[in-house]
Amino acid sequence: MRRPSRLVLLGHPVDHSLSPAFQNAALRRAGIPLIYSALDVLAADLAGAVRLLAENRAAGNVTIPHKEAMFDLCARHTALAERVGAVNTFWVDDDRSLVGDNTDVGGVSLLLHQVLDGPPAGRVALIGAGGAAAAVLAALEAEGITDVALHSRNPARSAKLAERFPIVTSIAANAEEAVREATLVINASASGLEDESMPVAIESLPFGAAVVDLVYQLGGTPWVQAALACGHRASDGLPMLIEQGALAFERWFGQPAPRDAMWDAVLLPDAT
């Protein structure tokens, strides 16, 4: 495909996002004369904004709360995006079609392997039922997981996900029920994104369970910090964020992403 005319992040809110920092560092390292910018777009304005971006051959990423809506706006999808039913990476193909992909799945897989030192095993508790949760289920499915307890504040969305992913074996009435007997607990909800709320109380976590929070914060989210203090293996979503962004970079430009530059931009911003 042709090189994009511009790169953007679509979401609401987006002012907290680290994506512009590490994507622009990657662009500089690769010598690509583009700027990656964040666009705060309300749901009602998404279709119009995407139409204008496509007409200008822009590419980019999509974050909360637009990943599922973006799926419907794309003319074509990769197999992963089809399986997830959500798009977090997009571009315009040579025939001017808007193409949607989901690099969150690859980001989740890398994060889980880092936290667990290998593939996941046993029961997984998943909190959330949106596009991020669907990406988690696709990643777990690929890893051979067959037992997921799901909880979200929207029972209808939970039921819809369970229909699409047979690895969901139970829909829990609350988070505490979901985490019982879990060896891995994953937060794919927005809990903790804008405050210090926790998706499930630390004292409810089974002994030895690993904790993954897809919400990210330098130094770890409060939930991750509390889990680590209680002896759990735990990580927030920063490794996933960087990896999904690196995979997106490789889709847009057909070359390896400079992951070291991306990480330096986040961890050593003054040096970049």
Task: At 213, give phi and psi (nearest 5°).
Answer: -115, 115
Residues 164 and 266: their CA atoms lie apart, in Å, by 36
Together in a domain, 113 and 214: yes
Together in a domain, 135 and 16: no
Together in a domain, 149 and 260: no
Domain span at residue 22 reads 7-102+245-271
Residues 136 and 41: their CA atoms lie apart, in Å, by 25
Compute how many other C-beta atoms are within 10 angstroms of the C-beta atom of residue 229: 10
Compute how many other C-beta atoms are within 10 angstroms of the C-beta atom of residue 159: 14
Residue burial 95-104, b: 16+ Cβ < 10 Å; e: rest = eeebbbbbbb
Percent of the chain residues topping a pLDDT of 70: 97
**Residue 164: which CATH number?**
3.40.50.720
Higher-pLDDT residue of 190, 14: 14
Is residue 160 part of the annotated active site? The answer reads no
Residue 234's H or E segment, with its range, is: strand 234-235
Q: What is the model's pTM? A: 0.94
Whether 197 has a pLDDT exceeding 90, the answer reads no
10, 22, 63, 67: which is the annotated catalytic residue? 67
The tally of domains found in the chain comes to: 2
| Closest alpha carbon to 78 in 98, 60, 63, 50 | 98
Instruction: Report pLDDT for 5.
Output: 94
Instruction: Report pLDDT for 191.
Output: 81
DSSP one-letter code for 269: G
Together in a domain, 135 and 229: yes
Residues 104 and 116: their CA atoms lie apart, in Å, by 18
Compute how many other C-beta atoms are within 10 angstroms of the C-beta atom of residue 264: 16
- pLDDT mean over 109-127: 92
Together in a domain, 121 and 183: yes
| Closest alpha carbon to 214 in 117, 120, 130 | 130
Residues 39 and 12: their CA atoms lie apart, in Å, by 8
- pLDDT mean over 13-29: 96
Whether 103 has a pLDDT exceeding 70, the answer reads yes
| Closest alpha carbon to 88 in 214, 223, 218, 230 | 214
Instruction: Report pLDDT for 209.
Output: 96
- The tens digit of pLDDT for each residue in 25-51 reads 999 999 999 999 999 999 999 999 999
Helix (H/G/I), strand (E/B), else coil: 7? strand
Residues 175 and 204: their CA atoms lie apart, in Å, by 9
Together in a domain, 109 and 231: yes
Together in a domain, 198 and 126: yes
Task: At 229, give phi and psi (nearest 5°).
Answer: -65, -25
Instruction: Report pLDDT for 272.
Output: 59
Together in a domain, 232 and 252: no
Whether 145 has a pLDDT exceeding 90, the answer reads yes
Instruction: Report pLDDT for 185.
Output: 97
Together in a domain, 141 and 219: yes
| Closest alpha carbon to 34 in 1, 68, 72, 4 | 4
Quick one: angle between helices 131-142 and 155-164, nearest 10? 30
